[in-house]
Amino acid sequence: MPDTSGPTGRTPETDVIDFRAAERLLAARDPRGAVKLLDGVIAAHPENTAARLLRARAFFAAAQLRPAELEFTVVLEREPDNAFAHFALGRTYERQGRRDQARRHFRLAAALDPNPQYLQRAHFDS
């Protein structure tokens, strides 16, 4: 059987296992543990937008707002119609006190998806 591991010894199966474990860690409120697992996945697959979105969420949960902002921005460069990423980037800006930037992304999220939570944060009435 041929060796399918890359130069880091990772296999596609390892990456899937790490991604799923990172999801579980984030759900269990261990965002730093999730980031550690996702670092390896993203190093092996930098094009994987799902892993980047999960890592952005983990950074946000760990109050690492600048790395969260950068990851959400990468996701939106690849998927400009991702309403959740716009909403999450808006929340990241909001926590940084950058209200105008936050409102812009809340409004984009609400325009893309009329989710009540997105609509409430968009403040279209003001």
Q: Which residues fall within 8 angstroms of residue 94, CB to CB, at 6 or more apart?
A: 102
Considering its fold, how many domains does the chain have in total? 2
pTM of this prediction exceeds 0.85: yes
Helical (H) or strand (E) element with 12: helix 12-27
Assign 125 a pLDDT band (cuts: 50, 70, 90): confident
Residue 85 inside a domain? The answer is yes
Q: Does residue 54 share a domain with residue 15?
A: yes
DSSP symbols for 56-110: HHHHHHTT-HHHHHHHHHHHHHH-TT-HHHHHHHHHHHHHTT-HHHHHHHHHHHH
Residue 14 inside a domain? The answer is yes
Q: Does residue 88 share a domain with residue 46?
A: no
Q: Does residue 56 share a domain with residue 87?
A: no
pLDDT at 4 over 70: no
* Closest of 84, 57, 81 to residue 71, by C-alpha: 57
Structure tokens at 63: 């109050």
Residue 3 inside a domain? The answer is no
Helical (H) or strand (E) element with 18: helix 12-27
Q: Does residue 56 share a domain with residue 23?
A: yes
Range of the domain at 121: 80-126
Per-residue pLDDT tens over the stretch 35-88? 999 999 999 999 999 999 999 999 999 999 999 999 999 999 999 999 999 999
